[in-house]
Amino acid sequence: MTEHSPTPWFVGEPNAQNPECESPSGIRSVDDYVIADICGDGRYPDHDATFIVRAVNCHEELVRELEDCELSLKLDVDEWGSPRLKGTLANIRAALAKAKEEAPA
């Protein structure tokens, strides 16, 4: 996976204010690097930033847990051959592939 700013990230003050932005929020890394400034329209103050931060901060843990599930489920599929388990295993593998996609250069 491509390197990224260290986690945990957090919602903080935006780097630059846009006078037309009703609900600005910023995303910063633990070393106070500005990841992004989000300009909302006032409908969802900080919700987008909070959602992104929560997703980033749990991403690596979720990938590790899915990898453990994949291994356990593969053993069950090999032993029992259940079509339902095969479908679930395929879904886990697809989710892992998506989570591990490299960012465009």
Domains of the chain, residue spans? 10-99
**Average pLDDT of span 82-96:** 90
- Listed range (13-17, 23-27, 50-54, 91-95) with the worst mean pLDDT: 13-17
Percentage of the chain beyond pLDDT 90 is 39
Tell me the pTM. 0.75
What is the chain's mean pLDDT, rounded?
85
Cα separation, 49 vs 4, in Å, equals 17
Cα separation, 79 vs 74, in Å, equals 9
Cα separation, 92 vs 36, in Å, equals 30
